[in-house]
Structure formats: C-alpha cells, structure tokens
Structure 1
Amino acid sequence: MKYSLFAFILLLSVTAKGQNTIVSGTVTDAQTNQLIPFVTVSFPGTSIGTNTGTSGKYRIETGKTYTQLKFSSVGYKSVIRTIIAGKDQVIHVRMQAEVQTLADVTIHAGKKTRYRNKDNPAVELIRQVIAHKEENRMQSYDYTEYKQYEKLEFSFINVSEKLTQRKLMRPYKFYFDNKDTTSMPGKALLPVYLEEKLTQTYYRKQPEKTKKIVEGEKKVNIINFVDEEGVNTYLNRMYAEVDIYSNNIFLMTNQFLSPISDAAPTFYKFFITDTIEVDGKKMVELSFTPRNGNDLLFEGLIFITLDGHYSVQKARLSTNKNINLNWVRGMSVDLTYEKNPDGRYHLSKSDMKADFGLNKNGQRGIFGERTISYQNYLINHPRPDSIYDGDQLVIKKNALKQGSQFWSDSRGRDTLTKIEAGVYKNIDTLQTIPAYKRTMDIITLVATGFKSFGPIEMGPFGTFYSFNDVEGNRFRVGGRTTTAFSTRYYLEAYGAYGFKDDKFKYLLSAAYSFNNKSIYKFPLSYIKATVQYEAKIPGEEISFAQQDALFLSFTRGVNDKFLYNQYYKLDYVNEFENHFSYSLGFKSWRQTPAGSLYFVNEVNGMPNSVHDVTTSEFSLNLRYAPHEQLVQGKQYRITIPSKYPILNLDYRQSIKGLFGGDYNYKNLLGRLDKRFYFSQLGYADLSVQGSYLFGQVPFPLLSIHQANQTYTYDFHSYNLMNFLEFVSDHYAAAQFEYTPNGFFFNKIPLLKKLKWREVVGIKAIYGGLRDENNPALHPSLFQFPTDQNGISETYTINKTPYLEGSVGIGNIFKVFRIDLVERFTYLDNPHTTRFGIRGSAWFDF
C-alpha cells in the first residue's frame, strides 16, 4: 500500500486530556520586540512541553504542581519563570540573544507603511543573493566530492502512559522504556524507525555527472508488513535533500518555492532584522514570510555574508500554521554552511524535522527527523573517468553488512544517542515476541489483503466477494508462495465461482527467478508460465485495482457484455538497475462471448453464430523509466511521481494456424507518461499514446478503448464512456490533468480556510477504423454488439475526436476528491450521459 506505514501510525495518534494548570503568552526578542518562533516551553526536569510554533505564542497545561517554566531556543539565553500551580495565567517572556549584535540596523517607530519591493533594501539584498546563486552552488566547480552521512528517524510522540501499562502491553515494556526526552524538550519520543547511510559522492561538470556510491546502510522498522525498500524510498522522497540554491525544494512530496528562487520577491516578503558578526565576519540576518500563508512557501531566517559572494551561511526554513499541507503540524529545516578555501561556502549540515498528527493542537503524533552531514569536501580534484562512469547510484555489495567500527568511524560528529543505539537491539528483540507477530499478522491482513502462513500467503481478501451482471454473486479464494518457500520458485493459484453463470474460473502459474529474488520486487528477472480461465469486460485494464475488487462491482448502466478468456501464457521479464526493462511473451488466447455479447457474422448471406475466436500471439515490451522510484505493494507497484518521463513500446504479432490461431495481425503501441512541475502553480500529468494494428481482425481483437462505468474517477480511463462503446484499429490519445495544488483556492477567503485543491482535466481520442476492418463492408467479420432492440452499442471514432473534460475539488477532509465530468462529443450514442459525478480517495500531503 502506498502510504500504509503512515496510515497505520497516524491511527495510533490520540488527543491529550485537558489539565488544571494553564499558562499562555508570547515570547519576543528583548532587543527587536519581534515574536520568536519555535521556542521550547517546558517544565524543568519533565517531558511535558510545547513550543511557540511559527506564531511566537504558546499554551501549556498540566495537572501536576509544577512551579517553574523554562523557555529555550538556539541563539538565545534560556529563561526560567515562576508560575502558580492550579491557575490559568498569562506570562509574556522576553529573551536575550547570545550572538554579538552590531548597531548597523536602526528601527524607527512611526506610521505603519505598506510592504513593497521597490526601494526595499531587503529585496535588493535578496536580489544580490539570487544574482550570485550559480557561483555559490556546488555545480560551479569543475569537480566536487564529499562523504555524506545521513540519519533518518521516526518516533511516536508522548505515547500514553495508560496504554503502556495495560496488561496486553507488558511484554513490550522494555521497548516503551527506551524513550528520548532530550531531543525535543517537553516531548517524549519513542523511536519506531531508524536508518543510517554513508555515501561517497563525485560530481563532474563536463560532461556533467553525479555519481553516488553507498558504502554502508542499515535500518530497522517496527512495521514489518510493508515493502521495506519502498517505504525507505518514499520516506527519503518526503525528506529529500534540501538545496536552498534551487528554485524549488521537494519536501513531503510537494514542491516548495525556495526563499532565494528567481521568483522569490514575487511570493515572499523580506525584512532585514539584524546585522551580526561571526568569527570576525559581518553578515545580515534576513527574515522572510509568505505573502499568502496558505501557499507552499517557507518562513524563517537566512544569514547572508557581506563579502561580495552573498553566500548563504545559515538558514532556517519552517512552515506556518495556515499552509495548505496535510498531516503536518510543523516542519523546519536548519541548514549550516562551512567556508571553502576560496572564500565561498558549502553545505555542511542539514537537519529537517516534521511533526505529524491528525490535528494541529494535539500533543501526540509522529515526529520525523533527517540529519545529513557532509564531510571531507574536496574541490576541483579530477578523478579518472572510470570513477564517473556507470550507474548514477551504486550500492556496494557489503553495504548492508558493515560492522559497528565502520559506523562509529562514519558518523563523525553525529554520534548516536543511547536511545538511538538501543533502537536496533529493541526492534530486533520485538520481532521475536509471538504476541507482536500475531499483531503484525492482523495489521498485514487489513493493510495488504494477504494473510501469511509462512511459505504461503492467502489473498487478496478484497476480491473474496464481488458481483456483476453476468456472474452474479462471485466468490474467489487464492494464494501464492513467498520467499520462505523458495527464492527461486514461485507458485500462484486461485479459484472463483459465479452463481449466475454457474462457471468456475481459475488461475495457475509457476515462475522461476533468475536473480534469486522475489518476482514481485524490483529488479524483476524471471520466467513465468500461466494457465487462466476468467470472465472479463472487453478492453478493460483497471489501473488502480483488480477488476473483481468489491468496490468496482458498483457500476452505472448495464454491464452485461463479458468475455470468457482462456490463456496459456509464457513470459520472460528482465529489469535493469537503470529502470530499463524488456519482456518477451507468448500467449495462446481463446475468447468466448458471455452475457448478452455474441459473435455473429454472415456466411453466404446468412447469419452465423461463432462460438469463440483464438489467437496465438508473440509479444515484445520495452519500458524505460529513468530515475524511477517505486513503492512496492503486495499486489502492485506504484511509481512515485517525478519530473522524469516513462516510455513504453509494445509490439504484438499473431500467427494464423499456430496452436489453432485464427488470424494474422501485428499491433504496435507506444505510450509516454510525464509529470510537469510549475513551482507555485502546481503540476500537471500528461499521458499520450498511439497504436496501429496491421491486418484484418474482428472487433474483439481491435483496440477497445478503456471506459469506466464505475463511480470512481480514473485518470487513465474515459469516465463517461461506456464499456465496448468505441473500437479502433489506429488511434492517438491524450489525457491531461492540471492540479494547481490550491494556488487559486488559497486566494478565496472561504476556500482558503477549507484548504481544498482545484483540479481540471481533458481527455481525447482521435482514431478510426480502416475499411478492411469495418463489418458493414465485410460481413464475414463479427458484427458490432447491439442492445436488446438491435441498436448498435459499439462505434468507431470518425472525423470528430472523442472528448471529455472534468473539474474537481480535491483535499476534501484531506482525503476525498469529487469531479464533475462532462462529455463533449458523440452524445447521440445510446445510453450516454453528458454529465457525471465521480469520486475518489487518496492519502497525500
């Protein structure tokens, strides 16, 4: 499941109880009187605390008789104030800065003026930073290399003491005792995921190449039912490396505009708040804030050198409370830079923190932190070409087997705390407890649809029951072997029965893995033989679920034209680390009409009923998805969207007479999928494809365009097209969907508070049918299907393309999306509707 880790964790979040002693107020800078964000407010010596967030305001409560409150923040002297237990009180605090400040900035009191860019010294300064970006980036050097140590950690926040003391939780007491109360003063963190990685990076400017060699990697995860590599990929996508010199920064699967992007003065407000001196060097403290608090923008501070390079020496990026970002109560990124021999600065440390939860004010939730340290910088030191050649990412064979001394040497200044060091041992111990294994089995069943029995797993249970107009009530039971059975040999089978058509369907398959890895995980390398007998809607390839999933049983209109498909297939699949893959296949395929569908042609001028059509088909598929990142589920894999295209080329050839094949034909299909990012204006998804069939064939072998008669919205289907409505032997199609990500709704007062996100899309097919494949001109071909009144229900696309468009509202209650779909052409076809409402649900940030 794409987000099963986070869905499970967030469900464990609970709301804290109200307490008796309540203290609230503001925290300001004693010199500038400005509110200070993210000040830690806690009761000394306890794990109870909060912070001022982005507003500089705080509120803390407790039922215990504490008499002191502590305020602490990086760069400021800590403050301790006396409080009265059991009272509701307001305490405003002024904090003194620890850095040496100069009298270079004068603040004048007077009439408030409207913010503007013109004649604004802060904007002029940021424009100098923008003008010098290229010289300050790593890419300005001909050669750069460095070691990169990173640590990614997720923890539960303030796990309920009552929960840990329950009898059911007693076997896990050793785990709950391993809490961290120092990393976030006022909050107790219980680690559940920890990953470390050491990477050597080489950069060459001409020809440009970045190569990363992973020398060591280790991780543990309390949730053991999800694809570990996929979750790791997704977490690193959420917590991507931050380059402030890039125009856009990817975090939480979204694109944030950098405060020093080329367009920053348009979207941010900038203020010179201080001039400071560090190590004898003068620099400016520049504050920034979004012009619109709902947009995907940061607020915070940047320290800029005044040495002519206008380098960023330090930065703090954070989000405000109004931002249109789901599930994140607060997020911050701290960047620290060190000086190069030539006087410029390179990034030496990045620390990103995020607080996740079901509400904005809860004391419990999830805390995630990714720390990256950059060591051993070497500038303009060329290496042999062999260093830069090959794949961009290389994982050493012994990377997962590095010992404790390796990690001790690699961490440098980022040593593990005692709590973090205990995570590895505690999670390994946890995996051995029978009660924990039983709990994970239940969660696995709910989250993935499979129940494991060691060498085999049963499922998917979402397909156990479904119904349709042809089969009636349908029941299915199946399973497959796991790597516990064998890492070379894999078996899969299911049986299904429809009570209306009184037919048994089945699948039997056997596979051999050439790389001694699972045949369900990247990179695939296997040969597979399959025998299958199944009922199927003609032309349908459900892109987001299995066709017999229960929720797809609910359809609009009549859905009684099916095919019984009997397959004998042999497939060879091979994927490479660069995400190029190819597959070779052979399929003997017999199609028999079912329900109200019939194969009827004319022989000597008389109607003739044909029982089935058989083809023997060879196939070749080529796929290339550069820089692809995957999350692997039990039933399917999901590509994490990125700016890189995905290319598919498919060729099929059927030979008449081979194993009873009835037709000769060739079919060539090409497809491209790509996401385009527009910074603050959101993103767009584009899918284009084209196909051409060579040869004369009946309609079941033509391209049957993918319709959708369910009430869910599907990007890859035509949501107001009926099943089997259009066929072609050549066509070009495009599907386009633009998601501004709330950019326009954020400007409308009511919608701004709801944090809805707008979506607009258009889909088109332009194609046709050559005369040789037109049954009206060649009666020996199967006639197009008709309804009970003899009116044709299948058509060709003539000079007018099929068009439909949609407008939608997403992020309703952070999960749901509703689309109004309109069909623009071929409205005179029977059983068509011009408008439709479609819904979908998706977990996203």
Structure 2
Amino acid sequence: MTSSQKPKQLIALVLVMLTAFSIHAQTLIKGVVKDAKSGQVMPFVSVGIKGTTSGTTTDVNGYYEVGTSENVTKIEYSFLGYITVTKSFTVGQTQTINVTMEEDAHTLDEVVVKPKKEKYRNKNNPAVELIRQVIDHKEQNRMKHYDYTHYLEYDKMQMALNNTPQGFKNSKLLKKYQFVLDNVDTTRFEGKALLPIYIEENISQKYFKRSPEKHKTIVTANKHVTFDERYINNESISTYMKNLYQNVDLYENNIYVVTNSFLSPIADMSPSFYKFYITDTVMNQGVKLVELSFYPRNKSDLLFQGKMYVTLDGHYGVQKAVMTVNKDINLNWVTDLHLTLDFERSADETFHLSKTDLLVNFGVFQGKKGLFGERTVTIKNFDMTTPIADSVFDGPSTVTLADASSHSDSYWMENRPDSLSTTEANTYKNMDSLNNMKSFKRLMWFTTTFLAGYNVNGPVEFGPLSTFYSFNPVEGFRLRFGGRTTPELSKRVFGEAYGAYGFKDKRWKYYVGGTYSLNNKSIYAYPLNYIRASVQEETSIPGQSLQFVQEDNFLLSFKRGVNDKYMYNKIYSLDWVAEFGDHMGVKATFKNWKQEAAGGLNFIHADGTNDTIPTIHTSEVGLEWRWAPHEQFFQRKLYRTPIPNVYPIMTLGVKWGIPDFLGGDYKYKTFYGSVYKRFYLSQLGLADVVVNAGYIFGSVPYPLLNIAQANQTYAYQLQAYSMMNFLEFVSDKYVSLNVDYHMYGFIFNKVPLFKKLKLREVATFKLLYGGLRDENRPDKNPDQLKFPTDQFGNVSTYSLEKQPYMEVSVGVENIFNLIRVDFVKRLSYLEYQNVPKYGVRARINFDF
C-alpha cells in the first residue's frame, strides 16, 4: 500500500492534541420540522435553545440536532412567514421533538414566491429565470471586469479542537496543560466549544491587471503560531490549510474547498444540478434584493445548498451568499461546512467581494467533535479606477517582505480590520509556552518518530524505520540502519548514510552522501539550491529508479510472479539542483555507474559464444529542466509532495554517455520529456493525465535502454504497469499515456447502497508504445547482449513494435474513507508466457 498524500506533520500535531476525546453527557435534542398544512419538511428553520447561544438550522430534510450543557428547558423554532413555536424539554437527556409550524397570515405578503409543492421544473420557474440573469451578468460583476484593481487583504486562518469534553479538561494527567485547556471559546459559534491550537494572520497588498492578465501579491505582515521545527514543518501547516480553504470566487463555475471541486450555484450549468426558489425580498444599502434559496437535485453530489441575495438594479449581482452542504454529501471526514460571502457596493453601483468566511468541522471521531478550521478573508480599500504601473508586476507573483514577520503587537492592533477575540489572542502565547514544556517535547518526539520514521535526536536523526527489515530473492533477509544530519548541526552541510546487509548473498550495501546548501537553507525546502556528492552500492530491479531512501520498504518486499532478475549497482554521482522564478528548476548531474547482473540475470553476448561480461560500466552527464507554475507542496522530512492544481507540470531532459572517461564503455544520447495535467471536470470528477516520451541515440545494451516501469507488488502504483512483469519491455524510442479518472460518486451517488457507503468510481487507462532500432536488437546486432530468459530458457524481454502495451482498470475508492481497490485487465501481448491477464490491486488513499 502506498502512503497517504497528506502532510504527516499536521497529522502528528492532531494526534498530539487529541490524545483523548470522549463525549460529555449533555442535553441533546433532535427531530424534524414540517409544514402543518402540507406535511412537507421545512429546511432552514432556525432552532435555538432559549437562554443560551446554542442553535442550528434544519437541513434540507427538515432535520435538526442541537445540544447544550446549560440548565434551561425551552427550545424555539422560527421561520419567515410562520408562527414561532416554543417547546419544553427535559434537562440532561437525549430526546426527539418533532414540530409542525403554521403559516402566519400577517407576514405572508412579504414573501414573493414560496417553494412550490408540485413537482419541481425549470420551465416557467421565476427563480430559474432570475438565476439565468445572474449567470448572464457574471462577467460584469466579477473583479476581473475592471482593467485594474488593487486592495488590502487581511487573511486569518485558525484551527481548533471542537467540543473538548469536561473529563478531558479535568484529567490529572493533563493538569500541567490546564492553561491551554482553559482557553476555550464557547460564545463565538453556536453549539461549539473551541480550543484553538493554531492561528495565522497575513496582511497583503493585492494587484490585478486585466490585459495582459497579471496578478501580484505582496505580503507585508505575517504572524502565526510556531512549533518546534524538529517535529513540525510550520510552512507545511500553512500550505495545507490554504489548500483546504482556498480563495473562493462565487462567479467561477467551480469552487475549490477541502480539495474538492464544488459546482457554484451560479455556474453556467447550475440549473441542471440545482433547484432554485424565490423565498423573500428585502432592501439593503438602498437596493432591492431577492432572497434566492437553492438545493442540490442529488443530495450526494458535490453541490452547495443555502441562500443568496440578488440585486434587482439591472446588474443582477450577488450581495450576500450563505452556503452549506447536505448531510448526505459524498465528502469524507467533513461533518459541517459553512461558507459566507459578503459583497460591498462599489462606486460604479456593482458589488465586489468584501469578506469570505469558511468554516469546516472535521469529524476525526464520530459525531461532530474533532478538528474545527476557519479561514476569514477581509478586503479593504478596494480601488478599481487607479492604473497600476507595469513595474509592480515584475518578479515572482507572490513576494513576502523581509520584515513581514517582525511587526510589533501594536502594528497588528492598528492594521487588523477585525480585532482578535481574547481566546484567539491567548493562542499565540499559550502555544509558545506549550512548545517550551519538556513533557510536550517528549510527546512530540514520540509522535514524529512514529509517523515520519526518523528518530528526532538533535543534530543527527536515525531511520527510516520502515526500511530496517525487508527481504528479496537475491539478498534474502536484509537489515538496514542509517541516519542523516539536521540543520541543528549545520545549515549548509548535510550528510546522509546507511549500511545494509543481505544474509543470503552475504554482501554489504551502503550509501554515503554529502550535500552543500548554496542558499543557507534546508536542502529539502523550496527553493532548492545545493550541490550533492554521493557513492552508493546497492541492489535494484532493472528499470526501477534507485532512490536511496525507502526503496527497500518492508511492504514492497511482497511481490507476485517470478522476481529474480536483479542487479548490483555501484554509483558515484555529483548533482547540482537549483530552483528559481515561478517554480522553475534545473538539475545538472554526473553519474559513474557500474552494473553487475544478479539472481536470475546474466549479461550474455548475442554472438553465439555465450560469453558473459561481468559488468556494464557507464559515465554519464545530464541536464534536466522542470517547470511547475504556481506549485504548492507538502514538505516532509526527506521529500515534498506536490499539490495538484490547474497548471501543467513539464519536464525536459537530456543525458550523454561519455566513453573512455572513468571507465565508461558506451556513447549515447537520451532525450526525454513529460507533461502532467489535472483536468477538473466539475460534477463529472477529475482526471490526471501524464504523457511521457523519449528517444535514445546510439548502440547500447538492454540495461541502458528505456525499461518500462512494471509493478509486481500488490499495491496499486499510479505510474507503473500493474500487469507487466519486471524487465518485460525495453525500447530506444517510446511514448506513453496514463489517464487516472476519478468520478467522485457521480454514478454511485444514484445507487442507494453505494450512496450510503459513500463509495466512488475510479478508472484508469495506461498505454506504452515504442520500438527498437536494429543496432539495439540482439537478433540483428551480435555485439549486443542477449535479452533475459526465464527459468526454462524462454525469452522474457521484448520490444514493442507489434502494438502498444495497454491495460485498463476499474475500481472503487473511498472504502472506509481510505482504501482504493482496482480490478486491472491487461489488453495486449496476452500471448506471452507467464504474464498475468488480470488482477486486483489496492492502495491507501487519504482524501476528502
């Protein structure tokens, strides 16, 4: 199984803060609200416990659930156009109270059109006609309508534990942390007791130019809770939260929230997926507004429900929107989601976005307890009339000023549009005190070591733990021990080494590497700029990239079929890596590589003599260029995981084999390139598409050709061929296509059982096509090496001239919210011996 794609630092933080979580007995009231006359359920009814701040609204099914620990006995139900209902309840019990509400004749004239009781239709529906006007006027109401805009933006993100139980607070074991546990806000959000664990604030100047379109962000001030960098990557926490709580533009067709694409209620095709009702008219800022309620046609789809207020001044702009999601939505871990958008009137009478408030409660455990997150973005000093000099847009699109994190408390008090609550303000000093406590550091050490696999131990870390024990047919039982230095030892010089021993082949393997940082930063953090030299002696499966970390992970030891063709490799390498601009990077390499056949593999001449050669020796230089516009990633201990966005990731590279230099025997040139792109298909899901191509000039033996990346493990690997055997296909020219399509329940949401289980559909298609020139074919060129054979002497390595290699898979993901299972079918080259025709593969995939 592959590891999760989410940052382990944040998981470590959550595990530390959630060492215990239980439900404290309180009064809990639930039920359904219906119309007394029609018997139909009533959504969006306000439900509040009198004498407290606890309250909620009914969902689209008229259902509500609200709780309190206060000693009160009355609950109130109110809705525009209906008589308010008050009921009594018993303190300290869980009880069901169903309510019917009657229309109030004195207020009915305020309502223009109420939701119709007959079957819903778009035709002759005034609400749909209104939303079509909003859609037709989208462009003139967007910020991008203006030639120039600039404004000040205040961005506040926070994370908190929600509804911490009283028993947790009174625990003697946690007495020393009482100052943190007492910092609870019970007044800000109804029904929530929030214990903040993280807060971040940013003040930025934002600039936009329409033609040509350019954006610029200058971060002038930044403040956030800081954790010990040995255990938590603070930058990754910020990146992760911004990825969950992305900037919201209601006028875009799709709104990205918690890594998912929601169709906007004013998207071009929204009438096909939403039901719309006119429910009220009001006056605000001197403008007549229509209250427009909307609901998803299918409750499980990635759609919103709520209300928006539309102007009737000819602009048909949105003045306010309040949105949530249906409880039946196919969304993992999220128990509550609320999005509020406020718009202010501009000088030209249109409305521009002035404030966004996004609240998400993540149900780490059952119920609505768990992790609560909020992002509030406030826009001030909006100017769409003053031209912006072109020089403002020079350089990177986002710039953080050098003194952004050094502002005083008085600066923040003067420049925040909204003041912090006492609880929020205390979070900074409380978490700082917590980080300095020895007991908390020990807990962080244990959790980080367990999750990251490295023993966090000051200037030197030992690990990774997952590679301590593994096995394979050549080495048998294998033990490995290694470690690396940290910035505590030096911010410029980093070292890494490991040693491993195979008890079957009785040979030592090792890696020793040293890296010098040219920008005095960690060699794992953006932007990279370092020189690395290393020597490695290790086993590998032909065609697999040698990654000196975790290539011998214990879980990857289990493989299907015959897996006996290995190589011993001795590699001397020198690399220079640098990143610049908008996530553009270059990599220059030198590699002196000696390959020795192992296991069932032999290097045999094709001239009929059956002579063997002991090693294949090459000296190679390479240059690679990579561009990933607007890239973000989760930073981990040894590597970083890119966060997909709408922009492609492109790579181009070339390698030269240099004969007669440090033992090199071969002359060749290899050109290669790849493009990755994620396509968001709105309600139809998304597709990840990867195209690769390459060409090798020169006459080389098969270990130096392109060896197709096969997968003989039982874990589903996205970029490998699951039904292909190791070393099955080689080529000197190739092109490949890989499509991984996720439908996110578009079909399953319409099947009751699948809908209840929140299962999702997934499908893939993989194609590889290539060929070999005569100079690289052992049957045409006797100077080459014979292709490998199986244990019976049959050739087991082939070229791809006949047709493309193809495989497809269909699968189900989101099993138990974590597991993906694919049924994979091989479509071509089925006549070859010992090849699988189909199989089942599984993968762990954490997603929302």
TM norm structure 2 = 0.94
What is the CA-CA distance between 1:108 and the residue it aligns to? 9.6
Equivalent residue, structure 1, for 2:490: 486
CA distances 1:440-486 after superposition (whole Å, capped 9, x unpaired): 01110121111111111111111111111111111111111111111
Q: Distance in 1 between matches of 2:789 and 2:545?
A: 23
SS at match of 1:601: coil
Where does 1:726-805 land on structure 2 (aligned, <5 Å)? 726-805=729-808
Give, as a single letter, the amino acid of the residue that structure 2 aligns with 1:302.
Answer: M
Aligned counterpart in structure 1 of residue 700 of structure 2, from 688, 697, 700: 697
Q: Distance in 2 between matches of 1:310 and 1:56?
A: 30
Q: Distance in 2 between matches of 1:690 and 1:787?
A: 29
Give, as a single letter, the amino acid of the residue that structure 2 aligns with 1:758.
Answer: E
SS at match of 1:830: coil
Aligned counterpart in structure 1 of residue 196 of structure 2, from 191, 196, 203: 191
Equivalent residue, structure 2, for 1:497: 501
Equivalent residue, structure 2, for 1:714: 717
Equivalent residue, structure 2, for 1:179: 184
CA contact (8 A) 1:681 1:740 kept: yes
1:456 matched to 2:457? The reply is: no
Give, as a single letter, the amino acid of the residue that structure 2 aligns with 1:343.
Answer: E
1:105 matched to 2:112? The reply is: yes
1:595 matched to 2:599? The reply is: yes
Give, as a single letter, the amino acid of the residue that structure 1 aligns with 2:44.
Answer: P
SS at match of 2:405: helix
CA contact (8 A) 1:728 1:769 kept: yes
CA contact (8 A) 2:20 2:168 kept: no
* Residues 715/38 of structure 1: CA separation in 2 closer, same or farther (3 Å cut): farther
CA distances 1:272-317 after superposition (whole Å, capped 9, x unpaired): 0011122432110000000101110000001001100001000011
* Residues 517/28 of structure 1: CA separation in 2 closer, same or farther (3 Å cut): farther
178-187 or 15-24, which deviates more? 15-24
1:578 matched to 2:582? The reply is: yes
* Residues 243/13 of structure 1: CA separation in 2 closer, same or farther (3 Å cut): farther
Give, as a single letter, the amino acid of the residue that structure 2 aligns with 1:237.
Answer: N
Equivalent residue, structure 2, for 1:234: 240
Give, as a single letter, the amino acid of the residue that structure 1 aligns with 2:759.
Answer: W
* Residues 450/607 of structure 1: CA separation in 2 closer, same or farther (3 Å cut): same
What is the CA-CA distance between 1:171 and the residue it aligns to? 1.6
Where does 1:363-512 land on structure 2 (aligned, <5 Å)? 363-412=368-417, 414-512=418-516
SS at match of 2:694: strand
Give, as a single letter, the amino acid of the residue that structure 2 aligns with 1:474.
Answer: R
CA contact (8 A) 2:84 2:101 kept: no
Aligned counterpart in structure 1 of residue 268 of structure 2, from 258, 262, 266: 262
Aligned counterpart in structure 1 of residue 325 of structure 2, from 308, 312, 319: 319
CA contact (8 A) 2:22 2:168 kept: no
Q: Distance in 1 between matches of 2:823 and 2:512?
A: 41
CA distances 1:621-661 after superposition (whole Å, capped 9, x unpaired): 10011111111111321111111111111110011100011
What is the CA-CA distance between 1:789 and the residue it aligns to? 1.7
Where does 1:103-252 land on structure 2 (aligned, <5 Å)? 103=110, 105=112, 107=114, 112-220=117-225, 225-252=231-258
What is the CA-CA distance between 1:92 and the residue it aligns to? 3.6
Q: Distance in 1 between matches of 2:167 and 2:309?
A: 45
CA contact (8 A) 1:143 1:380 kept: yes
SS at match of 2:174: helix
* Residues 709/75 of structure 1: CA separation in 2 closer, same or farther (3 Å cut): farther
SS at match of 1:659: coil
* Residues 324/612 of structure 1: CA separation in 2 closer, same or farther (3 Å cut): same
SS at match of 2:110: coil
Q: Distance in 2 between matches of 1:86 and 1:761?
A: 53
Equivalent residue, structure 2, for 1:566: 570
> May I ask how many residue pairs the two structures share in their alignment?
838
CA contact (8 A) 1:590 1:612 kept: yes
Q: Distance in 2 between matches of 1:91 and 1:482?
A: 61
Q: Distance in 1 between matches of 2:556 and 2:336?
A: 38
Q: Distance in 2 between matches of 1:228 and 1:15?
A: 25
What is the CA-CA distance between 1:183 and the residue it aligns to? 1.4
Equivalent residue, structure 1, for 2:611: 608
SS at match of 1:610: coil
What is the CA-CA distance between 1:813 and the residue it aligns to? 1.0
CA contact (8 A) 2:12 2:448 kept: no
Give, as a single letter, the amino acid of the residue that structure 2 aligns with 1:214.
Answer: V
CA contact (8 A) 2:83 2:101 kept: no
Give, as a single letter, the amino acid of the residue that structure 1 aligns with 2:638.
Answer: Q
Equivalent residue, structure 2, for 1:536: 540
* Residues 342/408 of structure 1: CA separation in 2 closer, same or farther (3 Å cut): same
Q: Distance in 1 between matches of 2:744 and 2:577?
A: 37
What is the CA-CA distance between 1:366 and the residue it aligns to? 1.2
Q: Distance in 1 between matches of 2:487 and 2:415?
A: 33
Aligned counterpart in structure 2 of residue 309 of structure 1, from 307, 315, 321: 315
What is the CA-CA distance between 1:512 and the residue it aligns to? 0.7
Q: Distance in 2 between matches of 1:561 and 1:162?
A: 59
Give, as a single letter, the amino acid of the residue that structure 1 aligns with 2:645.
Answer: S
1:282 matched to 2:250? The reply is: no
CA contact (8 A) 1:441 1:452 kept: yes
1:620 matched to 2:626? The reply is: no
CA distances 1:231-270 after superposition (whole Å, capped 9, x unpaired): 3112111101111111110111010000001001111000
CA distances 1:421-451 after superposition (whole Å, capped 9, x unpaired): 0111011111111110010011101211111
SS at match of 2:446: helix
Where does 1:327-346 land on structure 2 (aligned, <5 Å)? 327-346=333-352
Aligned counterpart in structure 1 of residue 844 of structure 2, from 831, 841, 844: 841
CA distances 1:770-807 after superposition (whole Å, capped 9, x unpaired): 10011122222211111222111111111311111111
Aligned counterpart in structure 2 of residue 67 of structure 1, from 54, 73, 92: 73
CA contact (8 A) 2:7 2:236 kept: no
What is the CA-CA distance between 1:732 and the residue it aligns to? 0.9
Q: Distance in 2 between matches of 1:260 and 1:14?
A: 43
CA contact (8 A) 2:227 2:234 kept: no
CA contact (8 A) 1:22 1:59 kept: yes
CA contact (8 A) 2:29 2:97 kept: yes
CA distances 1:208-242 after superposition (whole Å, capped 9, x unpaired): 11111111112115686343222311211110111
What is the CA-CA distance between 1:82 and the residue it aligns to? 4.5
Equivalent residue, structure 2, for 1:823: 826
CA distances 1:114-166 after superposition (whole Å, capped 9, x unpaired): 11111100000000000000000011111111110011111101222222333
1:297 matched to 2:303? The reply is: yes
Q: Distance in 1 between matches of 2:188 and 2:224?
A: 20
What is the CA-CA distance between 1:35 and the residue it aligns to? 3.3
What is the CA-CA distance between 1:407 and the residue it aligns to? 1.4
CA contact (8 A) 2:114 2:277 kept: no
* Residues 365/94 of structure 1: CA separation in 2 closer, same or farther (3 Å cut): farther
Q: Distance in 2 between matches of 1:96 and 1:425?
A: 52
Give, as a single letter, the amino acid of the residue that structure 2 aligns with 1:672.
Answer: V
SS at match of 1:179: coil
* Residues 564/301 of structure 1: CA separation in 2 closer, same or farther (3 Å cut): same
* Residues 127/601 of structure 1: CA separation in 2 closer, same or farther (3 Å cut): same
SS at match of 1:234: helix
11-20 or 740-749, which deviates more? 11-20
* Residues 829/200 of structure 1: CA separation in 2 closer, same or farther (3 Å cut): same
